[in-house]
């Protein structure tokens, strides 16, 4: 027997009512319901006509980027039709606030303002933050982060003068081809969707914003976009009830304020074929009666083809009201909609009392969000107040927590033993160096390639050939779409290239696309290391690079299944924290307003005073880089800006960056003793006045050594010309030491320097007096102990392993001059401006290789060495120096003698001397570091786990420029760091 459609509806209703008694009746009711019969609501109801009460159910679309004509149209609807609310779409925050204030002023009853801010205001408004899409949030294991996101989104929505967010999406996306939900869903696991939805909802609602779970009864399993047509879902009731509707039930139980109904044709719930938005069986029968929802029921946009096709504007709105909706979103014909509802009342299809009940519900919402005490919202400083450092930090934390490692064979990630790796990166789908590649380059030397999405075979073959030189390839697979679609625009040849590299045992892949797209690339699941980031943005690219090198952890879990390759819930934990995390001050317990504002001010002051032409500042706390910035110019007279990658002459910071780490390592190995003297390692010093003076005294500068010797003056005749056996204009076997392009020093002059040191007299009293003499000898001592070339030894044992590729002697051999910041214009010795060679005369006469001076670096690479010290000898997952050794070398050795110095390291003065001190007043006594003559400052403080670097070329154009010292710029900036610490 054929059952008529009407009978099916009746039978379904009976079944739903039978099931009603089985429902959990311990629902948390929406908070706004308490105001339905409040004095304010009563007073407003009394003032509204029956027609105006209908108008309160209507919310129209408003834009802040459509000019005066659109504004006039909205004002007419407010004044003439008395509509209840506005939903804002495209525009900018300032214009939106100003418009909303104008609209509220024109309204007799305050307007309810809403927005679609599923991933934050960035979904609709320019210059605002976008948090990760919900598919990425679904990968996060810590729901408290999503709760915090809800609070922050609510704060921003309120700041723009609005009261309601049409979020969260709690559709279970179990159809990879879903064109409209997809990345907007928390994923395919109903429990995960529900948990994430509740966390997001509670965060928003507890911050005073009404939320709506959407799109009821579940829009996840469709391959049709309801904006364009009416999707049909053919699952039986049991499946819909246990899966699609599950998250909605849970959010209703948890007290969500609103539910948005989708435009869907679901025969198992309503066999008449009407869209669910217009279905009384679904809205009243299921949502209200069976699920017991008493909150605000909102339609999906009433301009979408899924509901408008075959239905007249205005008439369709009346149908939505009759089905049980409380609020009509995006009504296209307001007068017609009101007229149609009034007609339905007059025909007895719906009662005025029912309309009044829904009107009261909307007014109750308005009171709950504070509209009973409405005040205009200020537009001033809105962008600054929206895009706060705290919000940006939360945005980064959410992305970080979502990163999902799907493959990590042999614990390849994070990368270790950088000295064994020759790394290339290929950004696929990019035409210029990507943020991903720039961030990779922060950790070590990486050769970068780009490959267009439609690259030709010849271009691919060229990269294949180039990659043969490298033993590790990092692939970044990028997305050129604003939204992470489940499509693949790469040519077949490019996809084949990815497939080929995936089966190599030296490939790391970071997939900056929708996870469903993984299923479109053959063999990608075979990659030794595979990271899913869910979307492509500067933040995901930056953090994926940090994950690869161990700057951050990874513990995300895949939110959807990817064909037969991966299942939802898969993911591997990767422990990071072994190298720098490049983050925000707030992530490290510091105030970015204090830090950035005051450091910038002090640097600009120094530059304007011509104390320095420019510089680099690097600050890290708890291993998190909170400030890494370049300022000013290379020279006062040019326009070449300082870049973060530029190299500076480190001057005396070389003392703690070259031979000192080597000596500490040799001390660990029992090959170097602090109680031994120079003569124990350099026999020529046996009969000198420096024999038997222990290195403990030498390296703390109380060995009675003279401060310095002007070696270069000994090369001159009385008339100012060079002695015949010192310099020649061309190199030769006898004159192999380059001092300048046309200055080559005699091969034996190093012996003369050593002889001068050996014969130099001693000071009378053994007290602190800074001396650089012994540091000329230390490279030879290291070579004597190890039997290895000094440079090779420190590169192999320290710099290469640290990934500190710019920390180097003789930088001109590796880097172009335009990357090396110039120092002094030397008109005494070399008679030329100095760039690319060490400034110190003695060091350049040692061939540029000394422990007194000679090292160059950018701030980022010097910081790796300093962080290793701060970590008590560990960095990158490797131990370089024993902690006990660093403790010994970094402590003050002879305080009883008035000497504040440690072994090799400088320390704070024993008593703070105000502006005459070598550190800021809040620096701890445990801190240590060094300064450099060229304007360098390198310091670490174990008590605050704080690292600070100041790189400059204050000696340009002359060393007589002492303004940097007079301004105390370096220590003033150091104090700012302590002032900025908030926890």
Q: Which long-range contacts (CB under 8 A, 24 or more apart) does 331-337 make?
A: 331/58, 331/59, 331/60, 331/302, 332/302, 332/303, 332/308, 334/55, 334/58, 334/60, 334/77, 334/81, 334/83, 335/81, 336/312, 337/58, 337/313
* CATH number assigned to the domain covering 645-858: 3.40.710.10
Identify each DSSP E strand in 684-788 by its residue range.
727-728, 737-740, 743-745
Structure-block tokens of residue 388: 């706060």
Provide the Cα torsion 91, 94, 100, 105; round to 10°.
-150
Helix (H) or strand (E) holding 248: helix 246-253
Give the bridge partners for 477, in sequence order. Answer: 428, 511
SS (H, E, C) 832-883: EECCCCCCCHHHHHCCCCCCCCCCEECHHHHHHHHHHHHCCCEECCEECCCH
For the entire predicted model, the pTM comes to 0.95
429 CB-near residues (< 8 Å, 6+ apart): 451, 452, 453, 477, 478, 479, 480, 489, 490
* pLDDT tens profile 724-758: 889 999 999 999 999 999 999 999 999 999 999 99
Residues of the chain with pLDDT under 50: 1-24
Q: What is the pLDDT of residue 226?
A: 84
**DSSP-assigned beta bridge partners for residue 712:** none
Query: Cα-flanking dihedrals φ and ψ of residue 827, to 5°?
Result: -105, 10
- The tokens describing 401, both together, are 């927590």
Rounded to whole angstroms, the Cα distance separating 275 from 684 reads 97
For 27-385, which CATH superfamily applies? Glycoside hydrolase, family 3, N-terminal domain (3.20.20.300)
Query: How far apart are alpha carbons 468 and 838 in whole angstroms?
Result: 36
CA distance 421 to 836: 27
> What are the angstrom distances between the C-alpha of 148 and each of 151, 208, 382, 560, 584?
5, 14, 21, 23, 17
Tell me the CB-side half-sphere exposure of residue 277, using CA atoms within 13 A.
Answer: 31
**Helix (H/G/I), strand (E/B), else coil: 976:** helix
Nearest to 795 by CA among 655, 669, 661: 661
Residues 139, 142, 143, 144: what is their CA dihedral angle, to the nearest 10 degrees? -140
Task: Please indicate whether the domains covering 403-579 and 645-858 agree at the CATH topology level.
Answer: no
Close Cβ partners of 114 (under 8 Å, ≥ 6 residues apart): 59, 85, 86, 87, 88, 162, 163, 164, 165, 166, 329
Q: Residue 329: beta bridge partners?
A: 59
pLDDT (0 to 100) of residue 19: 46
**Per CATH, which fold does 403-579 belong to?**
Rossmann fold (3.40.50)
Residue 737 neighbours by CB under 8 Å, 6+ apart: 744, 745, 746, 747, 749, 750, 845, 847
Beta-bridged to residue 450, according to DSSP, are 427
- 481's CB contacts (< 8 A; 6+ apart) are 487
Scored b (16 or more CB within 10 A) or e, 564-581 reads ebbebebbbebebebbbb
Q: What letter does residue 80 receive in the DSSP assignment?
A: I
Q: 773-786 and 659-668 are packed helices; what angle lies between their axes, rounded to 10 degrees?
A: 40
- Ordered by start, the domain boundaries in the chain are 27-385, 403-579, 580-644, 645-858
Q: Residues with Cβ < 8 Å from 111, sequence gap 6 or more? A: 78, 83, 84, 85, 86, 100, 103, 104, 371
Give the sheet arrangement for strand 581-582, strand by strand: 581-582, 624-632, 614-621, 946-952, 936-941, 928-932
């Amino acid at each position: 027997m054929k059952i008529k459609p009407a009978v099916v509806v009746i039978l379904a209703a009976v079944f739903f009512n039978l099931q009603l008694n089985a429902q959990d009746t311990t629902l948390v009711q929406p908070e706004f319901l308490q105001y339905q019969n409040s004095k304010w609501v009563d007073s407003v109801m009394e003032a509204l006509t029956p027609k105006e009460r209908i108008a309160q159910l209507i919310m129209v679309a408003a834009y802040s980027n459509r000019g005066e004509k659109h504004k006039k149209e909205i004002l007419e609807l407010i004044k003439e039709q008395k509509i209840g609310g506005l939903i804002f779409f495209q525009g900018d925050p300032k214009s939106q606030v100003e418009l909303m204030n104008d609209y509220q002023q024109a309204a007799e009853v305050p307007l309810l303002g809403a927005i679609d801010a599923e991933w934050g205001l960035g979904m609709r408004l320019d210059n605002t933050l976008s948090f990760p899409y919900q598919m990425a949030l679904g990968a996060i294991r810590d729901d408290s982060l999503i709760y915090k996101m809800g609070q922050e989104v609510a704060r921003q929505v309120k700041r723009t003068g609005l009261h309601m967010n049409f979020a969260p999406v709690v559709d279970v996306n179990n159809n990879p081809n879903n064109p409209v939900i997809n990345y907007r869903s928390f994923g395919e696991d109903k429990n995960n969707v529900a948990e994430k939805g509740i966390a997001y909802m509670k965060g928003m609602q507890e911050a005073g914003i009404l939320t709506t779970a959407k799109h009821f009864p579940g829009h996840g399993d469709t391959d049709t976009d309801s904006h364009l047509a009416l999707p049909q879902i053919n699952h039986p009731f049991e499946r819909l009830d246990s899966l699609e509707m599950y998250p909605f039930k849970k959010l209703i139980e948890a007290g969500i304020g609103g539910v948005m109904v989708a435009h869907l044709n679901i025969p198992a719930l309503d066999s008449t074929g009407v869209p669910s938005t217009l279905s009384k069986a679904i809205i009243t029968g299921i949502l209200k009666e069976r699920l017991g929802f008493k909150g605000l029921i909102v339609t999906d946009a009433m301009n979408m083809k899924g509901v408008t096709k075959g239905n007249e504007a205005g008439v369709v709105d009346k149908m939505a009201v009759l089905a049980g909706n409380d609020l009509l979103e995006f009504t296209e014909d307001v007068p017609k909609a009101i007229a149609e509802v009034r007609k339905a009342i007059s025909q007895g299809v719906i009662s005025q009392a029912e309309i009044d009940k829904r009107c009261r519900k909307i007014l109750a919402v308005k009171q709950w969000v504070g509209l009973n005490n409405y005040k205009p919202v200020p537009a001033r400083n809105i962008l600054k107040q929206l895009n706060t450092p705290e919000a940006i930090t939360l945005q980064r934390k959410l992305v970080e927590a979502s990163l999902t490692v799907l493959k990590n064979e042999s614990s390849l990630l994070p990368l270790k033993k950088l000295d064994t790796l020759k790394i290339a990166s290929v950004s696929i789908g990019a035409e210029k160096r990507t943020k991903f590649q720039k961030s990779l380059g922060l950790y070590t030397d990486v050769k970068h390639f780009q490959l267009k999405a439609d690259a030709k075979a010849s271009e691919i073959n060229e990269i294949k050939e180039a990659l043969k030189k490298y033993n590790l390839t990092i692939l970044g697979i990028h997305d050129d779409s604003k939204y992470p679609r489940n499509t693949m625009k790469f040519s077949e040849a490019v996809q084949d290239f990815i497939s080929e590299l995936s089966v190599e045992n030296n490939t790391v892949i970071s997939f900056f696309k929708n996870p469903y797209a993984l299923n479109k690339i053959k063999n990608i699941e075979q990659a030794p290391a595979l990271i899913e980031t869910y979307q492509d943005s500067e933040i995901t690219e930056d953090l994926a690079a940090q994950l690869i090198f161990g700057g951050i952890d990874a513990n995300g879990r895949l939110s959807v299944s990817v064909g037969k390759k991966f299942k939802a819930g898969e993911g591997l934990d990767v422990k990071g924290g072994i190298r720098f995390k490049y983050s925000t001050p707030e992530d490290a317990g510091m105030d970015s307003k204090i830090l950035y504002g005051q450091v910038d001010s002090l640097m600009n002051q120094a530059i304007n005073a011509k104390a320095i032409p420019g510089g680099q500042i690097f600050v890290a706390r708890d291993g998190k880089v909170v400030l890494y910035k370049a300022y000013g110019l290379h020279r006062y007279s040019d326009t070449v800006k300082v870049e973060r990658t530029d190299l500076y002459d480190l001057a005396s910071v070389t003392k703690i960056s070259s031979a000192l780490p080597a000596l500490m390592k040799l001390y660990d190995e029992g090959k170097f003793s602090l109680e031994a003297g120079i003569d124990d390692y350099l026999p020529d010093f046996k009969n000198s006045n420096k024999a038997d003076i222990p290195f403990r005294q030498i390296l703390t500068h109380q060995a009675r050594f003279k401060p310095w010797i002007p070696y270069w003056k000994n090369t001159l005749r009385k008339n100012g010309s060079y002695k015949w056996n010192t310099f020649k204009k061309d190199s030769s076997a006898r004159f192999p030491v380059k001092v300048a392009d046309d200055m080559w020093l005699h091969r034996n002059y190093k012996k003369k320097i050593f002889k001068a040191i050996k014969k130099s007299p001693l000071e009378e009293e053994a007290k602190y007096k800074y001396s650089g003499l012994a540091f000329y000898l230390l490279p030879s001592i290291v070579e004597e102990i190890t039997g290895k070339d000094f440079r090779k030894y420190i590169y192999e044992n320290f710099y290469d392993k640290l990934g500190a590729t710019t920390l180097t002697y003789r930088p001109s051999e590796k880097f172009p001059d335009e990357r090396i910041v110039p120092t002094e214009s030397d008109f005494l010795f070399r008679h030329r401006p100095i760039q690319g060679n060490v400034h110190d005369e003695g060091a350049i006469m040692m061939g540029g290789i000394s422990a007194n001076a000679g090292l160059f670096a950018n701030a980022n690479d010097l910081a790796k060495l300093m962080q290793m010290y701060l970590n008590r000898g560990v960095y990158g997952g490797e131990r370089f120096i024993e902690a006990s050794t660093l403790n010994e070398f970094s402590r003050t050795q002879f305080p009883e003698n008035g000497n504040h110095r440690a072994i090799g390291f400088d320390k704070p003065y024993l008593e703070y001397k105000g502006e005459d001190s070598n550190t800021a007043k809040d620096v701890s006594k445990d801190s240590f570091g060094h300064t450099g003559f060229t304007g360098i400052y390198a310091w670490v403080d174990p008590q605050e786990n704080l690292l600070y670097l100041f790189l400059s070329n204050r000696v340009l154009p002359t060393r007589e420029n002492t303004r940097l010292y007079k301004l105390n710029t370096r220590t003033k900036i150091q104090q700012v760091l302590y002032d900025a610490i908030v926890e």
